[in-house]
């Protein structure tokens, strides 16, 4: 199995730290709002990578965090007049709902930054003791030039760099020894959440969070660290510096980064009016279609999101699901029979396509070619399944379901909700709103959305449509 390693800029044979096991860390979202469609790409891509490792028999320890303390969270909390914890809790819940809709498996560990503060403090203390960090008026900085290999992931020359950290300037910034030094711990400001530390009350910098959580839940050296390519610098570069300076070990053997997602060939941004949340997209398309669309291109290439391309993905997915339905029908309704030599010859062709699927996935997780192999299987199945009886159909069905499962595509269609049941739930939702039971009203809306029913509140009443 070959993986393109961002660190070496080449494909490398995958050799795990521990035979038969994979330790994988994927940077999770900062929870201050609904996740957007760009957030969904790494979630889907690396969930699929995990699924393939499991398909091949690996024991995968998949760790993906929630950044639940951050300037944006604090800003949102202050705007709403609530606590930062309340904002984080709200959007962690919403994020998990969207991830479930995208059929993303829950991580083995899903740590929250605020629950791992003690470990971060210990890591910062170790960096100070080893001469890689220093404190100025309650702010602790990492001494960037003390790590001789700084820039090895992003291929940036340290002498050409300016300070590239995400944190807002804080008290003590003028005390930096070098403009390249980045924040490990920042002092409390008025109205901010804070924790006690040897340097006074404050909170961690962004980068140290992932270094500590990956260390705690996987180890000093992890197999794969993954995320969007926008994280290569400074986030992942800084993680390497502080982790390797602290632990004295290689931080991650393989680095995987997915390409950007554009909307109608333009970079997604609120100012351009093309910024969409997963929740908004889910009102227009089933989220399974979005997952299938995301896997239609190689994860490292830029991906363009447009209605035309998503409609095409929807049609393609329907072809696969129809083939599965035909196989299931034939397998369930057919009489007991044996697989004839002629039928076996076609099953052998199907197995060649399974091999083709695996070869695509083992060439840096080329899901585009893996999907193409499934389409070839669908063509083979559609032209033969009615001819060869139930045993043949059951074998093809099992193969299609297994490979779709690797891609996280559900092959069993949910029973369609009846119009009368929809109207009944809408009526219950209206009553809940009158009684100011907004939690129940939202629950009903989300329940209907999960079943492909989109509600629109208008002056004439509630209108609904099937997505």
> Mean pLDDT lowest for which of 1-5, 66-70, 329-333, 358-362?
329-333
> How many CB atoms are closer than 10 A to CB 27?
23
> Which among 281, 35, 251, 260 has a CA at the least distance from the CA of 153?
251
User: Is pLDDT at 183 greater than 60 in this prediction?
Assistant: yes
Average pLDDT over every residue of 438-463: 83
* pLDDT band at residue 335 under the 50/70/90 scheme: low
> How many CB atoms are closer than 10 A to CB 207?
25
User: Is pLDDT at 324 greater than 50 in this prediction?
Assistant: yes
Average pLDDT over every residue of 422-443: 88
Q: What is the C-alpha to C-alpha distance for residues 181 and 141, in angstroms, rounded to an integer?
A: 6
For the chain, percent of residues with pLDDT exceeding 90: 78
User: Is pLDDT at 163 greater than 60 in this prediction?
Assistant: no
* pLDDT band at residue 272 under the 50/70/90 scheme: confident
Q: Which residues contact 74 (CB under 8 A, 6 or more apart)?
A: 84, 191, 192, 193
Q: Which residues contact 37 (CB under 8 A, 6 or more apart)?
A: 261, 263, 268, 276, 277, 278, 281, 290, 305
User: Is pLDDT at 166 greater than 60 in this prediction?
Assistant: no
Q: What is the C-alpha to C-alpha distance for residues 26 and 373, in angstroms, rounded to an integer?
A: 28
pLDDT score of 173? 61
Q: What is the C-alpha to C-alpha distance for residues 348 and 326, in angstroms, rounded to an integer?
A: 20
Q: What is the C-alpha to C-alpha distance for residues 267 and 273, in angstroms, rounded to an integer?
A: 10
User: Is pLDDT at 415 greater than 80 in this prediction?
Assistant: no
Q: What is the C-alpha to C-alpha distance for residues 438 and 434, in angstroms, rounded to an integer?
A: 9
User: Is pLDDT at 164 greater than 90 in this prediction?
Assistant: no
* pLDDT band at residue 336 under the 50/70/90 scheme: low
Phi and psi torsions of 95, nearest 5°: -65, -45
> Which among 150, 123, 115, 110 has a CA at the least distance from the CA of 26?
110
> Mean pLDDT lowest for which of 111-115, 320-324, 429-433?
429-433
User: Is pLDDT at 416 greater than 70 in this prediction?
Assistant: no
**Strand 303-305 to strand 261-263: parallel, antiparallel, or no bridges (unpaired)?**
parallel
Q: Which residues contact 244 (CB under 8 A, 6 or more apart)?
A: 147, 149, 250, 251
Asked if residue 64 lies in contact with residue 28, where contact means CB atoms within 8 angstroms, the answer is: yes
pLDDT score of 127? 98
> Which among 316, 395, 321 has a CA at the least distance from the CA of 351?
395
* pLDDT band at residue 161 under the 50/70/90 scheme: confident
pLDDT score of 27? 97
> Which among 283, 289, 302, 171 has a CA at the least distance from the CA of 230?
302
User: Is pLDDT at 118 greater than 80 in this prediction?
Assistant: yes
pLDDT score of 268? 87
pLDDT score of 220? 98
For the chain, percent of residues with pLDDT exceeding 70: 95
> Mean pLDDT lowest for which of 407-411, 419-423, 432-436, 441-445?
419-423
Strand-pair partners of 304: 262
Angle at 82 between CA 79 and CA 83, to 5 degrees: 115
Q: What is the C-alpha to C-alpha distance for residues 235 and 142, in angstroms, rounded to an integer?
A: 13
pTM for the model stands at: 0.87
User: Is pLDDT at 168 greater than 60 in this prediction?
Assistant: no
Q: What is the C-alpha to C-alpha distance for residues 266 and 201, in angstroms, rounded to an integer?
A: 43
> Mean pLDDT lowest for which of 190-194, 363-367, 455-459?
455-459
pLDDT score of 423? 87
pLDDT tens per residue, range 47-84: 999 999 999 999 999 999 999 999 999 999 999 999 99
User: Is pLDDT at 306 greater than 60 in this prediction?
Assistant: yes
Average pLDDT, the chain: 92
* pLDDT band at residue 165 under the 50/70/90 scheme: very low
> Which among 429, 416, 423 has a CA at the least distance from the CA of 467?
416
Exposure string for 33-52, b = 16+ CB within 10 A, e = fewer: bbbbbbbbbbbbbbbbbbbb
Q: What is the C-alpha to C-alpha distance for residues 448 and 426, in angstroms, rounded to an integer?
A: 9
Q: Residue 185: is the preceding peptide bond cis (ω within 30°)? A: no
């Amino acid at each position: 199995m070959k993986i393109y390693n961002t660190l070496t800029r080449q494909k490398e044979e995958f050799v795990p730290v521990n035979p038969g096991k994979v330790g994988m860390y994927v940077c999770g979202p900062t929870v201050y709002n609904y996740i957007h469609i760009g957030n969904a790409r790494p979630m889907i891509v690396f969930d699929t990578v995990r699924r393939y490792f499991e398909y091949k028999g690996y024991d995968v320890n998949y760790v993906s965090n929630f950044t639940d303390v951050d300037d944006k969270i604090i800003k949102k909390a202050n705007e709403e007049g609530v606590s930062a914890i309340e904002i984080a809790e709200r959007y962690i819940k919403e994020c998990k709902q969207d991830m479930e809709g995208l059929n993303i498996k829950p991580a083995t560990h899903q740590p929250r930054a605020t629950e791992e503060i003690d470990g971060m403090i210990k890591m910062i203390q170790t960096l100070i003791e080893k001469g890689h960090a220093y404190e100025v008026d309650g702010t602790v900085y990492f001494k960037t030039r003390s790590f001789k290999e700084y820039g090895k992931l992003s291929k940036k020359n340290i002498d050409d760099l300016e300070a590239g950290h995400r944190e807002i300037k804080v008290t003590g910034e003028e005390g930096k020894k070098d403009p390249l030094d980045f924040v490990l711990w920042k002092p409390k400001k008025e109205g901010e959440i804070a924790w006690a530390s040897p340097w006074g009350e404050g909170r961690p910098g962004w980068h140290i969070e992932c270094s500590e959580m990956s260390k705690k839940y996987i180890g000093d050296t992890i197999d794969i660290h993954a995320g969007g390519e926008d994280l290569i610098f400074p986030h992942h570069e800084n993680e390497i510096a502080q982790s390797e300076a602290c632990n004295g070990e290689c931080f991650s053997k393989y680095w995987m980064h997915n390409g950007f997602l554009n909307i109608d060939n333009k970079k997604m941004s609120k100012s351009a009016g093309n910024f969409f949340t997963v929740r908004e997209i889910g009102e227009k398309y089933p989220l399974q279609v979005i997952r299938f669309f995301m896997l239609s291109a190689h994860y490292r290439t830029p991906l363009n999101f447009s209605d035309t391309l998503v409609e095409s993905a929807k049609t393609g997915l329907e072809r696969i699901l129809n083939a599965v339905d035909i196989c299931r029908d034939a397998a369930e309704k057919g009489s007991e029979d044996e697989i004839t030599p002629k039928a076996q010859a076609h099953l052998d062709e199907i197995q060649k396509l399974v091999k083709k699927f695996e070869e695509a996935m083992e060439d840096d997780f080329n899901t585009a070619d893996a999907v193409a192999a499934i389409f070839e299987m669908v063509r083979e199945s559609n032209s033969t399944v009615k001819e060869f009886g139930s045993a043949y159909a059951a074998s093809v069905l099992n193969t299609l379901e297994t490979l779709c499962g690797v891609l996280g595509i559900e092959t069993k269609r949910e029973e369609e909700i009846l119009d009368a049941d929809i109207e009944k739930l809408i009526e219950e939702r209206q009553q809940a709103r009158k009684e100011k039971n907004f939690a129940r009203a939202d629950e009903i809306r989300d329940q209907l959305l999960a079943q492909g029913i989109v509600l629109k509140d208008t002056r004439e009443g509630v209108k609904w449509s099937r997505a």
